[in-house]
Structure 1
Amino acid sequence: MSRESRTALGLVGVVLTMGALAWAAVPFYNWFCKVTGFGGTTQVAQQASGQVLDQMIRIRFDANVDANLDWTFRPMQTKMDLKIGENGLAFYEAINNSDETITGTASYNVAPEVTGYYFDKIDCFCFSEQTLKPGERVEMPVSFYVDPDLVKDGDAAWVRDITLSYTFHRTEPKQAALDAAPANDVN
């Protein structure tokens, strides 16, 4: 094999490797954030912790809407004081101010970021798309707790005030996207 052929083959290998790494970067980053709580990414739990400490923590609630989504979106309470490990239930309100049916999806995080690993959601409207008809108003619950292991973490043990923040973004409903996709002919 000539030197030019080896160089060309090496370059093709580099390009394929870079493409594979780029393809895997987003799923890997999402997995990393969920596992570590990096960037304030919260955890998902099946049930409450079962252990409740005699230490209080304040949860603040924040809501934002992407500029291209004509919704009003707000927390129905601004804060909640709970014992660490105690299950909390908060509500957010969304109103479609437009004259069209719109689907939105909420992204979320907590601050300070170090608490993401300890903030567990049991049930949340952010786990699925929300479709609102013109003028429709909905109240959406989020059930959560702060893991008692927070007090054992040297970087997070000092935290007694967490902000849970959501931003709603306009999305195409999954079924509509499937309906709009061209059918594959198998002839």
Structure 2
Amino acid sequence: MLAVAMGTLGLAYASVPLYRIFCQTTGFGGTTKRHKGGGEDEGYDLPADPATLPGNRPLRVTFNTDVSQQLPWSFKPVQKHVTVLAGQTALAFFEATNHSTEPIIAVATYNVIPNEAGAYFNKIQCFCFDEQRLLPGETVDMPVFFYIDPEFLKDRKMKRLDTMTLSYTFFKSNEIYS
């Protein structure tokens, strides 16, 4: 009986990180995908001129930010939105400030709305891949470098979509896993 209880507790503890990995891999629930390329020299398998892709159109990516009630930070996008073509890389910045008198480590969760678009949203580099440590009173700019997969253009469900929202929520690091 004790073994079953301990096993259930262990499974419950592991379920949050496992679910996050599942969502990041599949794009489930609007979770974006992490680009698997190795860097600039390797390339991103993106078209040389995204404007030449059949059916390509401007896509507006808006940004939404939030912080947990237990986190004394402010967090906002530096720009409200960017406009990109599928297959074109884009860079956006976010600003975070620690308003406490102690250093705090936090982690950002993220998703894309509408959820179906998350499967096509690829992050090459993002502050959300790692925990962020801010000193008391510190303000930092945090980048996200991304692209919309050109396969987006072939999906019938995406034909009328011209706006998507990338949303982040920051939590204290110990809060996300407890």
Q: TM-score, normalised by structure 2?
A: 0.79
Report 1:145-164 matches (<5 A): 145-164=147-166
Change (3 A) 1:128 1:31: closer
- For the pair shown, which has the larger CA radius of gyration, 1 or 2? 1
Distance 1:28 1:135 in 2: 33
Q: Give the unaligned 5+ runs of structure 1.
A: 1-11, 173-187
Q: Of residues 102, 119, 122 in structure 2, which corresponds to 1:120?
A: 122
- Aligned mates of 2:22, 2:172 — CA distance in 1: 25
In structure 2, the partner of 1:36 is 26
AA aligned opposite 2:150: P
Tell me how far 1:158 sits from its aligned partner.
2.4
- Candidates 64, 80, 87, aligned match of 2:82: 80
Give the superposition deviation at 1:36.
2.5
Query: Displacement, 1:33?
Result: 1.9
Determine what percentage of the aligned residue pairs are the same residue.
44
Please report how far the alpha carbon of residue 104 of structure 1 lies from its aligned counterpart in structure 2 after TM superposition. Answer: 0.6
- Tell me how far apart the structure 1 counterparts of residues 99 and 21 of structure 2 sit (CA, whole Å): 35
- 1:133-152 pair list within 5 angstroms: 133-152=135-154
Contact 1:58/1:160, CA 8 A, preserved across alignment: yes
1-structure distance, mates of 2:67, 2:138: 16
State the shift of 1:35 in Å: 3.1
Secondary structure of the residue that 2:156 maps to in structure 1?
A: coil
The alpha carbon displacement at 1:31 in A equals 4.2
Number of equivalenced pairs: 158
Q: Deviations over 1:134-185 (max 9, x none)?
A: 110100000000001011112233221110000000114xxxxxxxxxxxxx
Secondary structure of the equivalent of 2:101?
coil
Compared CA separation, residues 68 and 29, structure 1 to 2 (3 A): closer
Residues 26, 130 of structure 1: CA spacing in aligned structure 2 closer, same or farther, 3 A cutoff? closer
Alpha-carbon offset, residue 19 of structure 1 = 4.8
Aligned twin of 1:50: 46
> Normalising by structure 1, what TM-score?
0.76
Partner of 2:40: none
Counterpart in 1 of 2:110? 108
Structure 2 residue identity aligned to 1:92: F
Aligned-residue Cα RMSD (Å) equals 2.3
Alpha-carbon separation, structure 1, partners of 2:83 and 2:95: 20
CA deviations on 1:7-55 (whole Å, 9 max, x unpaired) are: xxxxx8xx69x859x4675565344322321100100112544122342
